[in-house]
Amino acid sequence: MKVEEVMSKKIITVKPTDTLEKVAKILFKKQVSGVLVVDAKEQLVGLVSEKDIYRMMYPTYQDFYNNPEVFLDHEAMEDNIKQVRDLPVEKFMKKEIVTLQPDDPVMKAGAIMLSRHINRLPVLKNNKVIGIVSRRDIYQNIFKSKLNL
């Protein structure tokens, strides 16, 4: 089975200048856990997931070590989202992205996801995003075809 057989062609993208708040709203409204970041030429430049946004609510290790007492109030940490809501995506997106080709085997995609703790991989053809494949896409298609579900 090839990636192109299981990938989603419905691609949700944002721009590097979009804010954390805008991306969070898109994830919430579209009920997806990640979006691709593309530049003005529609070239892939990053990826943002719920996890990336969630991390913005927490201090860095350096911040914590410098002032641990400030971060003992978990409700205050929750309110930190208000302070980072206007951050542009380019400040916290993942920039090193593993991509796939449409003719890559599905099990290769699954192996990459498992070994690198990734939930989704963009699919490129001639350096243009043509789809995205998630662990769920792989799981559902492999189990459906191999376990007759």
Express each pLDDT in 13-67 by its tens digit: 999 999 999 999 999 999 998 999 999 999 999 999 998 988 887 666 676 667 6
Question: Which residue ranges form the domains of the chain, and what is each CATH number?
Answer: 3-146 (3.10.580.10)
> What is the value of pTM for the model shown?
0.82
Q: In terms of DSSP H, where are the helices of the chain?
A: 3-6, 20-30, 50-55, 61-66, 74-84, 106-116, 135-146
Residue 60 one-letter amino acid:
T
Residue 99's SS3 state is coil
